[in-house]
Structures are given as C-alpha cells and as structure tokens.
Chain A
Amino acid sequence: MRKYTLPFWALAFSFYSTPVERRLPILFSSPWPSPSRQISAACPTCYPPKTSEFFQALKSFCFEDFILWCRGRRTIIETPAALLLYSHFRRDTETYSFLRAVGRGLCAFPIGALIHAALAIVLGAPVGSWYLLKTINWSLLMSSLTIVPVASVFGSSWRDWQRVFARTEPNDLLEYMLCIPAHGAAIGAWLGAWPMPLDWERPWQEWPICVTYGAVTGYVIGLSASFCVACASTGARRSRQKGD
C-alpha cells in the first residue's frame, strides 16, 4: 500500500512547493499575449471598470511580470513528472516494462488533448486561428491532468478505463488518485467557463484562462480529496488490523 502513496506525495509536493499565487499562472502560462477586451464603444459608461486593487495586483502579477519568465515551463515540467511517476505504478508490472508505460502515456498525451479540444469546442470554446494555439495549449494541459496518468497506469485496458471514468468505481488508492483529480479537473474546467460571458472586461475572462484556473483548482481539490480518502482508508485498515 505504501508504494501507492508515493506518487501522491510526489505530485502533491510538486504542487504545494510552489506558492499558491504562483501555482495557477504557471500551469496555464500562455506564451501568447491575451487580447485585451475593448470596452464597448457604444456604451463606455455602462460598467465603469472597478479598479479593485486585488484584481489590479493579480492582473499585473499574472500577465506582466510572471508570465514573461515562466511561460510554458510548468506544463513542460509537470507532464514528464506525472508521466514518469504514474508509469512507475503501472498495472501488469510483469508484462509491461516501465518504458512501455511511458510510451503509452506519451501516445495518450495528444489523443487526450484531441478529445478535450473536441469536447471544449462542442461546449462553445472559441474557434479560429487566433485561438487555435491557446486551445492546443489548454487541451494538452488537461490531457496531462486527466488522460496521461490513467494511460500510464492502465494502458489499453478498456475495462479499467470504463470503470474509472464512465462508472466512477475506483477500487484501490491508486485508482482513487487517478479518478478523483481527473474528475475534479473536468468539473473545475466546466465551472471555470461560467465567468467568461460576464461583462467585467477582465483579461482573465478570455478563453482559456479562467477555464484553466478552474481546471487546476478542481485538480488540486481532487488531489486533496483523494489524499483524505487515502488517509481514511489506511486509518480504517490499521484499526482493523489492530482489532484483529
């Protein structure tokens, strides 16, 4: 059982070691400047943008200083880390080598991105050359959060995929760790899309910034939840062992 908690700790460490305000922007980290929304020319005074200090600070932090030096780095670091860690805990250790698990994860990376991009476009993500690279960037991130770990662990075992994703019936700790954060990321991304139509004229309302924030938040919450599940189940097991 202990070996299953290891990747959790590693991932959790990689998340929590970065200060919380840095965590979100790095993960998204678009290398392209966000198009600043124009204030409606016909009605400039409808909603005077409130220069809330918090938003100002967040904005300058996210989009001016920080993005400049850490664009794209987190996805680049995060994906191999998740890939290697989860590949280590692959199923069928006898038949599949570590490298093969990594290969599976790598194969799943673009496929998962494709699925995410398709679903996002069905849901209403903007289409067009301007948004193409942003959508690719976002869907790769989503893929690394949801599909890649599962692919590394399960490979092409359709039954396991179905169990974890369609029926949400994880059996052991590792599957909890695959299932809950992935669902958290998807639900978080869905919720993160809601502020997009609002007329607050904030740069973070652009696709896919707030969706990414939502996804990462959901992922972190999912990770914490799976940590709680892990604690609870180990605790229960220990007490049961003591009772025996």
Chain B
Amino acid sequence: MEARWKKWCPWGILLLHGLAILMFTKGFLLTRTELPYYSNCSDISVSPCLSSPDANVDNHSSGHLENAKQDQHCWSKPAVDRLVIIILDALRFDFVAPSAFFPEKKPWMDKLPVLQNLAFTQGSSTKIFKAIADPPTTSLQRLKGLTTGGLPTFVDVGNSFGAPAIVEDNLIHQLVSNGKRVVMMGDDTWVQLFPDHFNKSYPYPSFNVKDLDTVDNGCNTHIFETLYQEDWDVLVAHFLGVDHAGHIFGVDSAQMIGKLEQYNQILEKVIETLVRKSEPGGLHENTILLVMGDHGQTLNGDHGGGSAEEDGKKCVSSIQQLDFAATVSALLGIPFPFGSIGSVNAELYALAAGTWNWRDLDTSNQKHQSEMEKWMKNYVNTLCVNSWQVKRYIDVYSASSIIGFSSEDLAHISNKYAELEENWSHSIRNLLTCQTESCSLVMAQITKQVNLYLDFLSHVSELARSKWTEFNLKMMGIGLGTMILSLLIISLAIWSMPTVSGIGFESIFAFLVVVIRACSFLSNSFILEEGKVACFLLATTGIVKLRYSIMRKGMLVEAILFLLLVLGLRFTIEIGMSKQAATSAFMHASSSWITGIALGDSLWGYAAEVGPLLVLVVLSCIVYKVITGNFQGIQKYIIMLTIPSYILIGLHWVLESDTQNLPLLFEGIGRNYIPQAIYALGCSQLLFLAFGMLFNEDKVADHKNSLMIKTLSMLSAWSPMIILLSGKQGSWIALASIVGGYCITRLQNTGKYANGGKARTSSFNLLAVTQWNLLAVCLFFASGHWCAFDGLRYGAAFIGFDEFVLVRQAILLTLDTFGFSLILPVMGLPFLLLGLNQTNPGKNVLFNQLSQMYMAYGLITATTVTATILCVTIQRRHLMVWGLFAPKFVFDVVGLVLTEVMICLASLFYFRRWVVL
C-alpha cells in the first residue's frame, strides 16, 4: 500500500511543479493584450487634425503628387505610389556601412557598396538609416513588430517556430483593406503570418538552416519579372541566405561574403530596373525602395537575444523599428495600424518628397523654401494624426486591459496630449489653413509643434517599452508560493522515509552547497558565470572528499582523479564562456590564453580530429568490457547494439571532416543516413527495453545486479544519440561523465564510518547526490551551452535531416541541450546506490533508497529553480530581465520539468517490478 503511494510520488511532484510553473509563467511572461480593433479611413473625422490638409493649403498640387487620387486620401496625403521592400534577414549594419563596433576593418564590412554609392551620389533621394530593433530579435517577433508597429513580447519567442497568423491590426491588413495590392516572395513566415493578404506570393521554406540558396534563388527568379508588372502596389521580398549563413558558418566566413556579394548584384539590378522605369509617367515614377534587415546577428551568426550587435541593423541616422509601420502607412496614405505606437520618422518621410536635407538647403532659394514649408505643414498634420492615433490606442488599451499603465502615467500622457491639442486647435490649425503671405512667418511655430509631437510620441513609446510586460504579481506570488511549498513537501517526504540516517557533517555541507548555489542566482553576475560557480562548488566538494580520503587513508587516487576531472571541466567551461562572451553584451571577453589554444596550428587541428575517435574507441571498449562481464540474456544483445552505433558515429565524423575527397554518394550517406541509422538503433534499443520490461517477468534473486543491468542498458541506449548530437566534443564529454560518475560513486563511501568505524547500512549519501547534480550542471556548460537562446546549438537539430519538422527538430534540439546534463545523469543515478558499500539489501530497502535518491535529486533541482524564480520575481524590473533573467528562467523551468519527467520515466522503468505486488 505504502509502496503504491510512493510510486505515484514523482508524478505528484511533477504535477505540483507543473502547476506552479504554469501559474508563475502566466504572471511573469504575460503578453501584451492584443486588441481586436482596426483603424479605418473614416476615423480621421473624429480627430482634431485636418483630414486633407492640402485641399486647403495648396490648390495647385505640384510635381509628383498629381497622380495621387483624391479618394485615396485617407489619413495622410500619399507621398509614394508604389513601395518595394527588400528584407535581408539578419543584416548587420556593418555589412552596409563601417561601424565603430570594431576598431579595425573586418572582411564582412562594406559588402553592399551599391547602397553606399547610392546614398552618397544621388544625394537627396537615398539615405542609410541605422534601425534599432527591440529585443527579442527573432524573425517572427521582428516581422510582427515591423507590421503592427507595436512591441512584441517575450512569450512570442515560443511561437517563433510555429508562426501563427497575426490577428492584430497591422500594416499588411491596412494595405489590403485600402485597396493596395501586395506581392510577397521569399521567407514563408510571411504567408503564415498573413495567410489571406497577398495578391500573389512566392513563399519558400525557411527553416532548413543548412540551405543557403533556395529562398534567395526563388526571390531572384521572381523579383525582376514582378518589377516590370503593373498589378501590384507593394512588393515584399524577404531574403534569408545571410541569416542561414550566419547560423551555420558565422559572420566571418567565405559563405557569408559570397552571400553578401550576391545580394549586392541583386540590389544593383533591382535599382537599375527601377531607375530605367522611373521616367515621368513610367511604372516606377513614384516608387520608394526600402532595403532593410529585420534584425542583426552576432559574430557567430546567432540572434534572439538583446545584445548591441544584434539590435543594430542598417545605417547612420537611426530609426526605431517601431516607427516603421507608422512611417510606411503615412507614405502610402493609409490608416496607421490600430496598435502602432511608433511615430512617423521625419527623415524617412521626407525622402519621398525629396526634402530630407531641407535644413541644409539655402534658405534664400524660394522654390526650396516653399517646398519645405509645404512639406512641414503636411508633416505636422501627419504627426497630429499620428499622436491622435497613439493616444487613442493608449486610451482604448488602458480601458480594456485591467493592468495597463499606471494612473499617473496616463494622467501625464493626457496632460501632454491636451496641451498639444489645444496648441493645435488654437493656432496651428488656423495657420495651416491660412493662405496669406504672413503664413511663411509661422515656420518656427510649426517646427516647435513638430518637436512637441515627437516628444510626446517618444515619451509614449518609452513608457510602453518600460511598462509593457504586465507582471501579474498575484499569479507570480501563487506560483512562487507553490514552489516553496512543494520544496517543503518533498523535504518532509524524504525525511519521513524509513531509511534516513542522522544528519552528519556531509549532509549539512551538501545542504550548504545547494543553498549557496541557489543564493548565487540572486545576482546577474553569478547567473552569467553560472558554469564557473557550479565548477567552483564541485571542486570544493572534491576537496572535501580529498580530505576525507586522506583521513580514511583510502581512495586517494579517485579523489585526485576527480579533482583533475574538475580541472578539465573548468577549462572547457571557460572556453564555452569565451564563446558566450563574444556574443553577449553583458560579459567581458577575457582570457587571452584560450584564444591562443583555440586558434591552433595543424597539429592541434589534427588532434581535434583524431582525439574524439580515439575516445570513441575507449568508450566502445568500456561497453564491451561491461557486456563481457556477467551479463546474460536479451539485455546483453541490446547493449551490444551500442557498439555499432559508436562505430557509425566515428564513420560519420570521418566523412564529415573531409567531404571533398569523397564521391557525392558517400557524402549523402554520411550526412543523413548514418545519423538516421543511429537514431533508429537508439530508438529500437529503447523500445526493446520498454517491451522487455513489460513481458520479461523472470524472477531475479540478485536485485542489485538486476538494477545494474537495467541502468547500464538504459545508459547505453541513450548515449550514442546524445554523443552524435553533441558533435565531436560529445565523446569527450561522455568520457568525462563516466569518469566523474565513477569517482563520485567510489568516493561516497569515504565519508562513512565517521563515528568509530561502524557502517550505517542503507543510508544514501546526500553529498554524493549533490555532486552528481553539480557534475550534471558543469557538463551542461562544458558541452558549450549556456542559458540563453543563442546558447542553443541549432545546428544539432539538423544532424541527419535536411527538412524542418517542428516536433522532430525540437526533440533533437532538446536531446542535444539536455542530454548530458539531464537525461544521462537522471538515468544513471542508480549507479550511486549500487556503489554503496552494502551487502545485498532486500528489494524493499533498495527500492526505498532509490526512490529517496531520486526525490533528493529532484529536490536539489527544484531548489535551484525556486531560487531562479524568486530571483526573477525580485529582479523583474532589472535592466537585463529580458536579456538574462528570463532566458535563465525558461531554461531552468524547462530543465526542471524535463528532469521530473525523466525521474517519472526512470521510476517506471527501474521500480516497476518491485511495486507490482
């Protein structure tokens, strides 16, 4: 009866933690409420602004505005007829223009000279902007931000691979509902975001990161014929190659340079076509071309975070990405999206009228001056509409959302706006409509009003930026409280089990280590250096163990071996962190000696090729030696399958390392079939084990041996897949985990006999479980991961597969990320028990110990996660909350849930036969 209750214990904990995490996440990662309202042309009549300023201002519509039909006047006077948007995904600003980020010139800089030439030769009609994106910088978030003019929130990152349609009011919706025809080509994310909006679309699959050319070639074939056609108003071309080249090869690579050169050619051709057709009355007489990146990328080609490199996309004057939707709407004369909080950017808006450098113009030039005045009047009216629209949105938003802006902030906004409106209604509006000569004297007043509007708009967007994440403190509190409560419950449950022995120095020390690690998460610095902290604590436990082994005069070799292992882990972690520092805005790039090694000469490269293979041989030998021990029956053959898997991994690596020398056939086999074969072998091993457990009902006398066989077969089934996904470092890390696990298992017995040499039977060692956990954390960092989305090794998801299938690739990525740090440690935990000095315990004792050990392991993980949650709650207004704390939170929470799922599976697998009766 009691055993049955214990069997469900892990599931209960999982459920409890799942609930707590769900509650907290709901409070913490709240999205902005999306409003179901849409802007309409007729809304303008409610605003204080002029519906069509030039109807009164200038009767003689001049120059290139003649074509603009009066009925298309909606919110603002259309300034252009057609719009070509070319999006180069992950375009770094320094691809286009030199930037001050690096002191010296890098090979990837200035690779799009065509844009620079245009900007500097044709003067007034071309300009380069540095666009500043808000984090999170993933494509989906940026596209959403670009088209809605709002601030996408952190939660949407999770949707990035699923790309749901945008239901909020957005630019594309406005274009379509105002009769503009939109053509789209390139990244198929657009079609997923806007399923029914495009007149014509040429989508290409975007998720195969290894494919640099499909999307770009697709764009290339369609863009030129489309440019000659008349049946569209807005053309969107989204090129992906640079993003993919960055993900796979990094910024500083030949592939990246090649892609950029290709883009340069395409852009040259596009511009040539546009220019050829731009004669008066031509197809592109009044067309604006926007070449932009949706986000940047870091040096190793990843993005998703909030580092300065990623946010800065292309230019010189800067433009907030928020402003894109409003500015484009104003240019085309359509209503601004309802939820847009951006402002109409003066310089971009002025480009269309050719007056962007009006400040520099000779004021004595009458023609220029009148042009400029006309533009200013138009612009001030546009800003009036813009401010009115933003104010309307803020009002509606705070009315419909319970926790919106604070009342002081709202009052402040209202006051500011009322002041603006009064000034507008009493003076400016009249000035705009007056037609006498005296009007020219009021330019100063208009300029002042423009600045007031811009000030108001930037104030609102700043406020929105700072307040947008609406934390639901009640939900967060409930979640946190449940977590803390669950910790108490687990502690009590462990305590109440019969096998617990008294509290010794080791237990207190282990408790202290866990608490210290948990407390370290309260500071952002320690989160950044989490790997080092874990390693420091692991080394401390190792030193304590060394002290014990000197005290007991035994296992000195194991203690020293363990410290050497920690030393190795420490250097590996530092190398991983130097990788992180290269991409992170928060970290110092340090340790010059590491780069000295990492660069390496041919000998080092040779060692890096051969070393992993040798280690694989060692691993195979270990497996072989284990099999030839005292193994019988079907388990032996299941474990045996691991050796061919290792051989296949070796073959795969050899084929990958020099593909040039091999015929194409072998290349294909090496790239995809071998990994697939390894996955198939691993899955069949797991299936055999599962079925074997269901049907194999033989009674064993030696429970210890039976448990060992089960554990070994489980580990050998998982390991080939995880090693393969981790790449060449995988075999080293597998070896490290075997050595570490062996040392911990051996060393746990040194602390015994503390008082007078009497062995306490059947007490599990809390310190050893803590060490096991710390080793797992160290392995996470040593295998080149860190708790940020750019710390995911996306390449691992495409080992063995070329196409993107959400579930499959997500599983592979999870296996890579948590394989060594979570799956193997949890599955291998019974070894700790088997290493205890105890003579053949009964099955109930063994079961109790094992479940206790698993609960202790879960408790340690849950404690650190609770600390993370607490820290996130405290630091929720911290500058780095989205850059650092939230990713850490997501990683920890996913890790906890996965740990507990694995514990449940392990308890099903290891305990089943004991609990049947």
Nearest CB in chain B: distance from A132 CB, A = 11
Interface size on B, residues (CB 8 A): 33
Contacting pair A37 B570 (CB below 8 A): no
B632 at the interface (CB under 8 A from A): no
A123 touches B586 (CB 8 A): no
A127 proximal to B (CB < 8 A): yes
Q: In the bound complex, what is the Cα–Cα distance between A29 and B542 (angstroms)?
A: 30
Contact A166 B536 (CB under 8 A): no
A121–B593 Cα distance when bound, in Å, is: 15
A197 with B526: CB separation less than 8 A: yes
Chain B residues in 8 Å Cβ range of A80: none
Question: Is A162 an interface position by the 8 A CB rule?
Answer: yes
Interface residues of A in 99-128 (CB under 8 A from B): 119, 121-124, 126-128
Residue A38, interface by CB 8 Å: yes
**Complex alpha-carbon distance, A37 and B589, angstroms:** 11
Of A119, A122, A162, which contacts B570 at CB under 8 A?
A122
Complex: A199 Cα to B879 Cα, angstroms = 14
Within B500-549, the residues touching A (CB, 8 Å) are: 523-526, 528-529, 532-533, 535-536, 539-540, 542-543, 547-548
Q: Is the CB of B542 within 8 A of A40?
A: no
A-contact bits for B554-577, CB 8 A (1 contact / 0 none): 000000000100110010000000
Say yes or no: A42 contacts B593, CB within 8 Å.
Answer: no
Name the residue of chain B whose CB is nearest to the CB of A163.
B551
Instruction: Specify which chain A residues have a CB less than 8 angstroms from the CB of B588 in the assembled complex.
Output: 37-38, 40
- Minimum CB distance partner of B588 in chain A: A40
List CB contacts (< 8 Å) of A161-215 with chain B: 162, 165-167, 190, 193, 197-199
Given the interface pairs A166-B551, A197-B528, the reply to whether A43 lies near B536 with Cβ below 8 Å is: no
Q: Do the beta carbons of A126 and B591 come within 8 Å of each other?
A: yes
The complex places the Cα of A43 from the Cα of B880 at a distance, in Å, of 11
Q: Is the CB of B540 within 8 A of A124?
A: no
Q: CB-CB < 8 A to B536: which residues of A?
A: 123-124, 193
Using CB atoms, name the residue of chain A closest to B307: A42
Q: State how many angstroms separate the Cβ of B529 from the closest Cβ of chain A.
A: 4
Residues of B within 8 A of A130 (CB): 592
Whether the pair A42, B539 counts as a contact (CB closer than 8 A) is no
A46 within 8 A of B: yes
User: Which secondary structure characterizes the binding site on chain B?
Assistant: helix
Counting CB contacts under 8 A, is B475 at the interface?
Answer: no
Q: Which A residues lie within 8 Å of B707 (CB)?
A: none
B551 adjacent to A42 (CB under 8 Å): no
Does B526 lie within 8 Å of A128, measured CB to CB? no
Report Cα–Cα, A128/B593, bound state, in Å: 6
Question: Which residues from A are CB-within-8-Å of B548?
Answer: 166
Task: Report the minimum CB–CB distance from B781 to chain A (whole Å).
Answer: 12
Query: How far apart sit A14 and B368, CA to CA, in the bound complex (Å)?
Result: 85
Rounded to whole Å, the gap between the CB of A167 and the closest CB of chain B is 5
Most buried by B among A38, A122, A167, A193: A122
A124 to B529, alpha carbons, bound, how many Å? 11
Q: Among the listed A43, A127, A162, which residue makes an inter-chain contact with B585, where contact means beta carbons less than 8 Å apart?
A: A43
Binary flags per residue of B290-326, CB closer than 8 Å to A gives 1, else 0: 0000000000000000011100000000000000000
Q: How far is the CB of A118 from chain B (nearest CB, A)?
A: 8
Tell me the complex Cα distance, A193–B532, Å. Answer: 12
List of B residues within 8 angstroms of A127 by Cβ: 593
| B801 shortest CB reach to chain A, Å | 36
* CB neighbours of A122 from chain B (8 A): 539, 542-543, 563, 566-567, 570
Q: How far is the CA of A21 from the CA of B307 in the complex (A)?
A: 41
Bound: A88/B539 CA distance, A: 36
A interface SS class: loop
CB within 8 Å of B: which A132-171 residues: 162, 165-167
Tally of A interface residues using CB under 8 Å: 25
**Chain A residues within 8 Å of B567, by CB:** 121-122
Residues of A within 8 A of B361 (CB): none
Q: For A121, what are the chain B residues with a Cβ–Cβ distance below 8 Å?
A: 567
By a CB distance below 8 angstroms, the chain A residues around B694 are none
Q: Which residue of B lies closest to A161 (CB)?
A: B550
Shortest Cβ distance from residue A125 to the other chain B in the assembled complex, whole angstroms: 10
Contact between chains at A166 and B550 (CB < 8 Å): yes
Distance between Cα atoms of A46 and B591 in the complex (Å): 23
Instruction: Give the docked Cα–Cα distance between A130 and B550 (Å).
Output: 34
Residue contact B592 to A128, C-beta cutoff 8 Å: yes
Q: Which residue of A lies closest to B516 (CB)?
A: A194
A208→B895 CA distance, assembly (Å): 35
Binary per-residue interface labels of chain A (34-65) against chain B in the complex, 1 for a CB within 8 Å, 0 otherwise: 00011010110010000000000000000000
Which residue in A37, A124, A162, A190 is a CB contact (below 8 Å) of B532? Answer: A124
State the CA gap A126–B588 with chains docked (Å): 14
A42 and B567 CA atoms in complex are apart in Å by 31
Q: How far is the CA of A181 from the CA of B51 in the complex (A)?
A: 84
A52 to B524, CA, bound (A): 21
Interchain CB contact (< 8 A) of B308 among A42, A123, A190: A42
A167 to B548, CA, bound (A): 8
Bound: A224/B566 CA distance, A: 35
- Do B591 and A190 touch (CB < 8 A)? no
Residue among A43, A126, A165 having the largest count of chain B Cβ atoms under 10 Å: A43
In the complex formed, the residue of B with least CB distance to A166 is B551
Contact residue among B551, B566, B570, B879 (Cβ-Cβ distance under 8 Å from A46): B879
Q: When the two chains form their complex, are residues B539 and A199 in contact, meaning their CB atoms are under 8 A apart?
A: no
Bound complex: CA of A166 vs CA of B542, how far in Å? 14
B551 to chain A: which residues have CB within 8 Å? 162, 166-167
Q: Kindly list chain B residues whose C-beta atoms are within 8 Å of the C-beta of A167.
A: 551
Judge whether B523 and A198 touch: CB under 8 Å.
yes
Q: Which residue of A lies closest to B590 (CB)?
A: A126
Residues in chain B near residue A198, CB distance under 8 A: 523, 525-526
Known interface pairs A119-B543, A122-B567, A128-B592. Does A40 touch B585 (Cβ–Cβ under 8 Å)? yes
Cα–Cα, bound, A197→B539 (Å)? 17
Q: Give the nearest-CB partner of B880 in chain A.
A: A46
Closest partner residue, chain B, to A198 (CB atom): B525
> Contacts of B532 on A, CB cut-off 8 Å?
124, 197
Q: How far is the CA of A131 from the CA of B105 in the complex (A)?
A: 31
A14 to B701: give the CA distance in the assembly, Å.
Answer: 69
Q: Chain B residues near A40 (CB, 8 Å)?
A: 585-586, 588
Distance between A139 CB and nearest chain B CB, rounded to angstroms: 15
Cross-chain contact A124 with B525 (CB below 8 angstroms): no
Q: How far is the CA of A130 from the CA of B596 in the complex (A)?
A: 14
Q: Report A-chain residues with C-beta under 8 Å of the C-beta of B542.
A: 122
- For window 850-881 of B, CB contacts with A under 8 Å fall at 879-880
In the assembly, what is the distance between CA of A162 and CA of B550, in Å? Answer: 7
Residue of A42, A121, A128, A165 with most chain B CB atoms under a 10 A cut-off: A42
Nearest chain B residue, comparing its CB with the CB of A125? B570
A122 vs B585: C-alpha distance when bound (angstroms):
28
Evaluate contact between B525 and A197: CB separation under 8 angstroms.
Answer: yes
Residues of B within 8 A of A128 (CB): 591-593
Q: How far is the CB of A210 from chain B (nearest CB, A)?
A: 14
Chain A residues proximal to chain B, CB less than 8 Å: 37-38, 40, 42-43, 46, 119, 121-124, 126-130, 162, 165-167, 190, 193, 197-199
Instruction: Rank and list the top 3 A-B pairs by shortest CB-CB distance, nearest first.
Output: A166-B551, A42-B585, A128-B593
Please, could you name 17 A-B residue pairs with CB atoms under 8 Å apart, sorted by A? Answer: A37-B588, A40-B588, A42-B585, A43-B308, A46-B880, A121-B567, A122-B570, A123-B543, A124-B535, A124-B539, A162-B551, A165-B550, A167-B551, A190-B540, A197-B525, A197-B528, A198-B526
